Structure 1
Amino acid sequence: MACQSVAAVMDEQALLGLNPNADARYRQRAMAYFEQLKESQDAWEVCAEALAKGIYNDDHVKFFCFQVLEHQIKFRHAGLSDVQQQLVRETLMKWLQCQLMNAQPEKPFIRNKAAQVFALTFIMEYLTLWPKFFFDVLSLVGLNPHGVDIYLRTLMAIDAEVVDRDILHTPEETRRNTLIKDTMREQCIPSLVESWYQILQTYQQSHPELTCQCLEVVGAFVSWIDLSLIANDRFVNLLLSQMSVEELREEACDCLFEIVNKGMDPVDKTKLVESLCRVLQSAGFFNVEQEEDVDFLAKFSRLVNGMGQSLVLSWTKLAKTGNMKDAAESLQAIETKVPLLLQLLVHEDDDISANIVGFCYEYLHVLKQLPQLTEQQQGNIEAIMLAVMKKLTYDDEYNFDNEGEDEAMFVEYRKQLKMLLDRLAQVSPELLLEAVRRVFTNTMQNWQSAQFMEVEVAIRLLYMLGEALPASHGAHFSGNVAKTSALQDMMRTLVSCGVSSYQHTSVSLEFFETVVRYDKFFIVEPQHIPNVLMAFLDQRGLRHNSPKVRSRVAYLFSRFIKSLHKHMNAFIEDILTRIQDLLELTPPENGFPALLTSDDQLFMFETAGILIVNGECPVERKQALMRSLLAPLMDAFRLLLAKLPQESEEERQTALADCLSHAVGFASRTSKAFSNKQTVKQCGCTEVYRECLQTFLPALSCPVQRGVLRSSVRSFLHRMIICMEEEVLPFIPAASEHMLKDCEAKDLQEFIPLISQITAKFKRQVSPFLQQVFMPLVLAIFEVLGRPAEDNDQAAALEKQMLRRSYFSFIQTIAGSGMNEVMANQGAENIERVVFTIIQGAVDFPDPIAQKTCFIILSKLVELWGGKDGMVGFPDFIYKHIVPACFLAPLKPTFDLSDAQTVLTLSECVVTLKMIHLKRGPEFIQFLQQDYLPSLQVSPEISQELCHVLQQPDIKVLKTYIKAFFQRAKL
């Protein structure tokens, strides 16, 4: 009868919605029912009863009932009556009892959820209501496999809640967790350990999955319980016996790793590791070559790594405290592991090798600290070197054309090996240099018959020496023939043995990377430059059949030329001729795939620019070369720009606009070659860049694809302002007029830095232009900021915020550039309008970056116009608006004085007050004391105190005082 009545109480219709295949209506009803059961004082009890009596067979309903129970325990435990808390305990134990009798266990997802609920109940009740939690569970479960499974899952759930360091806990939870662990250590840990031993012993044959679960539990708990309970003969022997059972060995390995990793006294740790190693060695685990199971070996390698790192830590601690006898024993223990380390490091499986890198790295660090190395230790260093060189080598399966996850993992693994190589260089640079030289020389002598991976790694090692031996890097190529270095020999071999012709992308790339890394070599032996230039320019480099190689070589070539431009004089015109086809703009309708992408071409144009500008030819020749470089771009630009408005298809328009944008970008990139020593004017190139401006500026008024075109022309103007000096000024008014037409927030935001750049660079020269453009620009900004936007359109809100910041920065540039007249000549009404926006920016918008800028502007305006001979009517404005802004902004709830950026804003606010005092003197103090501060209900004592501090010369004192003043005011 009872079962029937409960079933009737449960909303059967709602339960139908728990099935994942149920339709949306039922699912919504189930969700609503869940919320109702969660929030009700006692309705959840039907779920408890359903679980205790096993009324439902449907897995989803059972899971649902546990979820409802979980919510009660997690969020409402304190509010449950004693009877209800007792009901929870009884429900769990009855459900557990049912599991012992079931022929089939519950599905894993239900068992996991049940374990979570058990763990939550334990956490809430162990210290107060249910101290016998574990004894009750263990006495019920005994060695019943279904019960043991729940018990072990519960222990892992408790570990996740109480011990796991990756989970953030409140201080209160941390205190509770510490108390739970302390109480468990006192009351039940020995019993738990005994239960684990029994489980491990009982089930290793019949239920390997339970044994693995138990090993995981031991590994999790060992970090905080008394180690002697686990690290003893009977337990360790049991674990070691499981290392020989195929289904258990990986978990047993992980468990031993956790035992070894436990923090303990260095002498005891050394003894523990040594005793483990002896047993493992005698059981044959050190014979790595005979082991075929790579998954197990990866775990074993991790275990050896843990043991090795523990021994290094023990040695470090003992050596620091001067305990030389025990330190020597730890060092001896480390040394005896090196043969095993080498077997694992050189293993063909990279996962196994990668897992031992940490120990290897730290072992080398130990050797670095020793005053003298034994022959054996030097032999170990050489063996590690050879292992690293071998493991750096690509295997046959590496896919260079389509690099996937495996390739990415190998690249990461190579980075670890590089760390080892760098460490080897610190321990014994001579040995490393000699070893690399031997491998490199042997490989280069036979490169035609060698496999690509051998050739690549030989060049790669030469490349890596550059970082591994940084101290002597410059000295490698000193030019002193008597001391010709190993590196110089290797570089000579690299560039003269013909290996640049090797037909594999990895070798080609490594060759060019290395040539560029050691560019200083060519200063010492410039006779090799022509050969290397040809390699860059022909099918080995820029015309290689692999796009990946061509792309990288374009960049490396620009670096090579930049570095060695002084040695290029004899080759300039030849190089320019040879790369001419790579400098052509590829229009979209061409149909032929270009050798280089437009990004790669940028490097080619920069390279051409560097060759022309730095050549030793007369100015006329430079001018002619630059014109022949840029004229084809201008011709193509004019043709394409005329075509663009006639195109009706958007895809075609986009392609043309991109092409136009590239043309401007290429021209812009050539200008990077100029410097203070070689200006546009000195090279006679002013005229050709003026022509570029005349060619590109009409694109600003093109009715289609405005965003792309404006952006590229604006970037070109930025470059020309830097390179062309005042020659660029005649182009600015017309360009500005075009850019201010029909603009969006983003257009304006990008246009303002251009005006600011002109203002900062030319100052008085551009004053008339700025006076003319100032209000049109400001009005355009106001217009865009005033446009209505959707409330939840975050992108638009962010754009407006950025535009507002740009606007304030612009006003700051104008105010701070010494061109008082630019704003002063805008007419009283306009000035007032602008200054009001600054006041508004300082007070109304909760954006500390913009607010800070606004206070900087206000301070500057007070300095310019606030004195006795300042602007008429401005002192009134100071008292009516600027002073209130200095107090109202920090009093806003959004003004967060714990935020660093806001504190900087407050600092500028203080500077403004100080500037007002400087300009208005006692009159300002009187205004504060008699008028303004009383209006804020500030007491006469505090007013007097503030005014006193305001008159002190040290502004730091005022800043500290004002911060405290506003902190008090906000309480």
Structure 2
Amino acid sequence: MDEQALLGLNPNADASYQQRALAYFEQLKESPDAWQVCAEALAKGLYSDDHVKFFCFQVLEHQIKFRHGALSAAQQQLIRETLMKWLQAQMMNSQPEKAFIRNKAAQVFALTFVTEYLTQWPKFFFDILSLVGLNPRGVDLYLRTLMAIDAEVVDRDILHTSEARPAFKETRRNTLIKDTMREQCIPSLVESWYQILHTYEHTNSELTCQCLEVVGAYVSWIDLSLIANDRFVNLLLSHMSVEVLREEACDCLFEIVNKGMDPVDKTKLVESLCQVLQTAGFFNVEQEEDVDFLAKFSKLVNGMGQSLIASWTKLAKTGDIKNSQETLRALEAKVPLMLQLLVHEDDDISANIVGFCYDYLHVLKQVHILNGCRTLNICLNAIMLAVMKKLTYDDEYNFENEGEDEAMFVEYRKQLKLLLDRLAQVSPELLLEAVRRIFTSTMQSWQTAPFMEVEVAIRLLYMLGEALPASQGAHFSGDGAKASTLQDMMRMLVTCGVSEYQHTSVTLEFFETVVRYDKFFIVEPQHIPNVLMAFLDHRGLRHCSPKVRSRVAYLFSRYVKTLHKHMNAFIEDILNQLQDLLELSPPENGYPPLLTSDDQLFVFETVGVLIVNSEYTAQRKQALMRNLLDPLMGNFKLLLGKLLLEQDEERQSALADCLNHAVGFASRTSKAFSNKQTVKQCGCSEVYLNCLQTFLPALSCPVQKEALRSGVRTFLHRMIICLEEEVLPFIPSASEHMLKDCEAKDLQEFIPLINQITAKFKAQVSPFLQQVFMPLVQAIFEVLARPAEENDQTAALEKQMLRRSYFGFIQTIVSSGMNEVMGSQGVENIEQVLFTIIQGAVDFPDPIAQKTCFIILSKLIELWGGKDGLVGFPDFIYKHIIPACFLTPLKPTFDLSDAQTVLTLSECALTLKMIYLKRGPEFIQYLQQEYLPSLQVSPDIIQEFCQVLQQPDSKVLKNYIKAFFQRAKL
């Protein structure tokens, strides 16, 4: 072997040695026989360095995985002998190999087994077993190999397919391997497992645990009677009492219980296991202090419970009353244990039993419907109390800096919520009453109760909103008992003073619940003022916690949107209270504002909703909106002036952000307007036109150009919707600024604005579009023509997106019936644009852009392709459009198995159909006599194609064209 190259295997070796080692590895992999030096090194134990040994196994692995078929019989035999010699040597060594080498060796053994078991090496297991006997080193490798085989042949979590081994072949091979193993060697393997477990249970816990893992992995597909018998189960149960083995024994029993089998046999198996476990004292959960074991045991009980439920469901469906009732009794006997585990203080233990509990509630519902159930209420109450107890935060939960533990508890709470929802399905009345009882008693003494009790009481009320089978409105206007109970609880929530509780979790839960049940305030609007105060003062928007302030800003906007009709009397008070929260925070302030700019967006929107939906006159609304937006405009002018003078890049960026916030806030207020309350009706047009005049100069700012343009462009989009035609005078100058010094991204984001104007105003903007059309097109061409680095993926993607935007722009113009915009551009310009559309359809392998191009071509043919169309356009159809319809689908990059490409082909077919509709027999004659013969299409296919093209149903043409090009590309 190349000793110098081997030096590079050491992780600490320098880069040149590592590079040489990599090259050597590739050489050994690809050589027909050079790999044999690695086989010799392993068989003879020539190297003591761990990295070299691992390297040799990697080379062998590659030969077996990818070159086995090319190896001679002698070479295959050499691999088998190498592995067996290496294994024999391990049993004699004074020191065991490192775990990573043993794992790699096991992988190589497993690959050899998978490749050769059915053909060259049917005695694989017998050879290994006879060699290793009960030697601990040998047993270790044997068990690791079994797990590696499981990963290759059985484990569904591991993806086996690759290009060299298609999935269907692998599935068939794996099935054949398992069938052959069941016939030939599984009983011997099971016997070996028993002997290993029996021999090492007291002397080598590592081997025993490995063996239990193997049994658990294999039990799913072997004959269960080989494992589920007295001697084996008794051995496993004895392991349950050994501290170092019992977790693995638990997992093994879980796999046995999970095995698919006849429902009656499954019930018997579970019952026999339970009986032994109960007799051995495992059901005394309170006395067990080992939480790790209890988590495994809880998972086992969950598996047993769910297995019994599955058996009961099958038996009940088939009408087997006797056995289904026996299974139900067995199931009910496990409920006390389930409840003990569900309520356990350790959340992992509790979480592992939730599945059983969830499924059992479904059974209870069915049994209750069928024949009533005496113990239903007792059981439901017990589950309810357990869920309510487990929803409670503990003292160690870190609300200010939530980490992994906190995230796990949040996930666990979601599971408990599912249980609560299921409880509501079984007995909504019972759940409602239980929550009412807990909520009322807690609210009556909230001043002295721990935060976690207060939070969970409000949380339960909140969760009822989703759990109870009713729309939110029906909670307060439908079912009398339910409505009055919820109404009572909501009344108590907003009047008992709990909003003053000094803990963020309680504060947040209060506001979340108030907003969830905002319909309550329509029924009892007298509570709105108190809740508004809570939103506005130290409990809400001025809370000491930024997290609370941020969430309340959003919740307040939702609350106001629902209840603004009931707030007219308080609007001016609310606006006064919010005044300082609506201020733009310039970067030089030096102190953090109460709300972030994102939070302020919600507050501005909320104020907009209050003003617009108020009962004030249009004149008063205008005055209030001006008071709201004038300070923003004043600050904007001031900050823009500072930005123009600022030299420091960091300060420039901070100022640009602040300017964008001002634009964003103004934009957000406009969301309050609707079809019923337009800007014009509210008398606010002038205010927003002033905003436009204030913001547009930012487009010509030479610094922070991209950020400022983006903000103003977004505002323009909003104003086109809100101000209607009043915005039009501002568009030409805005467009002129935005088209100066453009990058691909600038243009790509500008085009949707032009599309919006075109689609909305059509003929009104035709003169402007005629004027701006070619400057915009040329700006796009100029950017697309700029050279870029060959491997610059970002630049390539930006150009692709710009190209799509350009074609989208042309499509918007032709689809809006504004053909005069293009028609007035002069012959040379029109020709230039038309050629870009042909190029987009044919040359760029982008099906989204290609589809748009064919839509454009089809529309242009409809507009200009007839006898009275654009001069010279019919020639263009025959010279360029028709060839594009055939050349594009024939391209190698045109993938007919791709859904987007098939849509492109459909548009291509519709383009041909439109040519026929406009040119008639002339087009058919051209196809028959000139174009299709030039493509070497046979006369009968030409005839067939032309007949289909003339049929009225376009769907027939689309299907035919797909088949036509599939055939042509073979």
TM-score normalised by the chain length of structure 2:
0.98
Q: Which runs of 4+ in 1 moved over 6 A?
A: 479-483
Question: CA 1:892 to 1:236, structure 2 compared with 1: closer, same or farther past 3 Å?
Answer: same
Is the Cα contact below 8 Å between 1:479 and 1:524 reproduced in 2? no
The answer to whether structure 1 residue 624 and structure 2 residue 616 are counterparts is no
Q: Shift of residue 480 of structure 1?
A: 9.7
Picking from 316, 319, 322, the partner of 2:316 is: 319
Name the amino acid aligned to 2:282: F
Is the Cα contact below 8 Å between 2:472 and 2:517 reproduced in 1? no
Distance 1:47 1:659 in 2: 66
Is the Cα contact below 8 Å between 2:652 and 2:704 reproduced in 1? yes
Q: Shift of residue 903 of structure 1?
A: 0.9
Is the Cα contact below 8 Å between 2:656 and 2:708 reproduced in 1? yes
Where structure 2 has 5 or more consecutive residues not aligned to the other structure, the ranges are: 162-166
**Paired residue secondary structure (1:713):** helix
**Correspondence 1:423-822 to 2 at 5 A:** 423-471=422-470, 473-478=472-477, 485-822=484-821
Is the Cα contact below 8 Å between 2:890 and 2:968 reproduced in 1? yes
Distance 1:939 1:29 in 2: 59
Distance 2:304 2:931 in 1: 73
The residue aligned with 1:287 is 284
The answer to whether structure 1 residue 72 and structure 2 residue 63 are counterparts is yes
Distance 1:567 1:168 in 2: 63
The residue aligned with 2:134 is 143
Name the amino acid aligned to 1:320: K
Distance 1:689 1:32 in 2: 68
The residue aligned with 2:328 is 331
The answer to whether structure 1 residue 417 and structure 2 residue 408 are counterparts is no
The residue aligned with 1:837 is 836
Q: Could you list the per-position Cα deviations for residues 223-257 of structure 1 after superposition, in whole angstroms to 9, with x for gaps in the alignment?
A: 11000000000000000000000000000000000
Distance 2:84 2:528 in 1: 84
Is the Cα contact below 8 Å between 2:8 and 2:21 reproduced in 1? yes
Name the amino acid aligned to 1:475: A
**Paired residue secondary structure (1:471):** coil
Question: CA 1:273 to 1:481, structure 2 compared with 1: closer, same or farther past 3 Å?
Answer: closer
The residue aligned with 2:274 is 277
Distance 1:484 1:309 in 2: 36
Q: Could you list the per-position Cα deviations for residues 610-648 of structure 1 after superposition, in whole angstroms to 9, with x for gaps in the alignment?
A: 111111011111111111001000000011111101000
Q: Which moved more, 1:55-64 or 1:341-350?
A: 55-64
Picking from 87, 90, 94, the partner of 1:99 is: 90
The answer to whether structure 1 residue 237 and structure 2 residue 244 are counterparts is no
Name the amino acid aligned to 2:760: K
Q: Shift of residue 86 of structure 1?
A: 1.9
Is the Cα contact below 8 Å between 1:14 and 1:30 reproduced in 2? yes
The answer to whether structure 1 residue 134 and structure 2 residue 134 are counterparts is no
Picking from 193, 201, 204, the partner of 1:204 is: 201
Distance 2:100 2:315 in 1: 49
Distance 2:266 2:318 in 1: 16
The answer to whether structure 1 residue 951 and structure 2 residue 950 are counterparts is yes
The answer to whether structure 1 residue 871 and structure 2 residue 870 are counterparts is yes
Picking from 18, 21, 37, the partner of 1:27 is: 18
Name the amino acid aligned to 1:210: L
Distance 2:903 2:30 in 1: 47
Picking from 358, 363, 373, the partner of 1:361 is: 358
**Paired residue secondary structure (2:253):** helix
Q: Could you list the per-position Cα deviations for residues 274-333 of structure 1 after superposition, in whole angstroms to 9, with x for gaps in the alignment?
A: 110000110000001100000000000011111111111111111111112111111111
Distance 2:141 2:564 in 1: 74
**Paired residue secondary structure (1:314):** helix
Is the Cα contact below 8 Å between 2:443 and 2:498 reproduced in 1? yes
Name the amino acid aligned to 1:142: G
Picking from 12, 36, 46, the partner of 1:45 is: 36
**Paired residue secondary structure (1:225):** coil
Distance 1:902 1:73 in 2: 40
Name the amino acid aligned to 2:194: Y
Name the amino acid aligned to 1:242: H
Is the Cα contact below 8 Å between 2:474 and 2:483 reproduced in 1? no
Name the amino acid aligned to 1:642: G
The residue aligned with 1:5 is none
Q: Shift of residue 482 of structure 1?
A: 8.9
Name the amino acid aligned to 2:588: E
Is the Cα contact below 8 Å between 1:367 and 1:373 reproduced in 2? no
Question: CA 1:481 to 1:390, structure 2 compared with 1: closer, same or farther past 3 Å?
Answer: closer
Q: Shift of residue 479 of structure 1?
A: 8.9
Distance 1:924 1:47 in 2: 71
**Paired residue secondary structure (1:264):** coil
The answer to whether structure 1 residue 347 and structure 2 residue 339 are counterparts is no
Distance 2:183 2:708 in 1: 76
Q: Shift of residue 103 of structure 1?
A: 2.2
Q: How many residues align?
A: 962
Q: Could you list the per-position Cα deviations for residues 449-504 of structure 1 after superposition, in whole angstroms to 9, with x for gaps in the alignment?
A: 00000000000000000000142532221299998511000000000000000000
Name the amino acid aligned to 2:925: Q
Distance 1:750 1:483 in 2: 52
Q: Shift of residue 53 of structure 1?
A: 2.0
Question: CA 1:731 to 1:160, structure 2 compared with 1: closer, same or farther past 3 Å?
Answer: same
**Paired residue secondary structure (2:375):** helix
Question: CA 1:214 to 1:578, structure 2 compared with 1: closer, same or farther past 3 Å?
Answer: same
Is the Cα contact below 8 Å between 2:455 and 2:506 reproduced in 1? yes
Question: CA 1:534 to 1:389, structure 2 compared with 1: closer, same or farther past 3 Å?
Answer: same
Distance 1:844 1:677 in 2: 49
Q: Which moved more, 1:313-322 or 1:403-412?
A: 313-322
Distance 1:928 1:758 in 2: 40
Name the amino acid aligned to 2:93: N
Q: Shift of residue 15 of structure 1?
A: 2.3
Distance 1:530 1:138 in 2: 82
The residue aligned with 2:155 is 164
**Paired residue secondary structure (1:672):** helix
The residue aligned with 2:962 is 963
**Paired residue secondary structure (2:334):** helix
Is the Cα contact below 8 Å between 1:661 and 1:712 reproduced in 2? yes
Distance 1:871 1:824 in 2: 8
Distance 1:817 1:483 in 2: 55
Question: CA 1:249 to 1:514, structure 2 compared with 1: closer, same or farther past 3 Å?
Answer: same
RMSD (CA atoms): 1.2
Q: Shift of residue 349 of structure 1?
A: 0.5
Distance 2:725 2:23 in 1: 73
Name the amino acid aligned to 2:492: T
Question: CA 1:483 to 1:232, structure 2 compared with 1: closer, same or farther past 3 Å?
Answer: closer
Name the amino acid aligned to 2:102: R
Is the Cα contact below 8 Å between 2:472 and 2:519 reproduced in 1? no
**Paired residue secondary structure (1:375):** coil
TM-score normalised by the chain length of structure 1:
0.98
Is the Cα contact below 8 Å between 2:117 and 2:124 reproduced in 1? yes
**Paired residue secondary structure (1:103):** coil
Distance 1:457 1:898 in 2: 54
Q: Which moved more, 1:66-75 or 1:276-285?
A: 66-75
Name the amino acid aligned to 1:232: N
The answer to whether structure 1 residue 81 and structure 2 residue 72 are counterparts is yes
Q: Which moved more, 1:312-321 or 1:579-588?
A: 312-321
The answer to whether structure 1 residue 174 and structure 2 residue 165 are counterparts is no
Distance 1:614 1:368 in 2: 47
Q: Shift of residue 506 of structure 1?
A: 0.4
Distance 2:479 2:340 in 1: 42
Is the Cα contact below 8 Å between 2:61 and 2:108 reproduced in 1? yes
The residue aligned with 1:56 is 47
| Identity between Structure 1 and Structure 2 (%) | 84
The answer to whether structure 1 residue 115 and structure 2 residue 106 are counterparts is yes
The residue aligned with 1:891 is 890
Is the Cα contact below 8 Å between 1:949 and 1:958 reproduced in 2? yes
Distance 1:799 1:24 in 2: 37
Name the amino acid aligned to 1:302: K
Distance 1:34 1:895 in 2: 39
The residue aligned with 2:164 is none
Where structure 1 has 5 or more consecutive residues not aligned to the other structure, the ranges are: 1-9
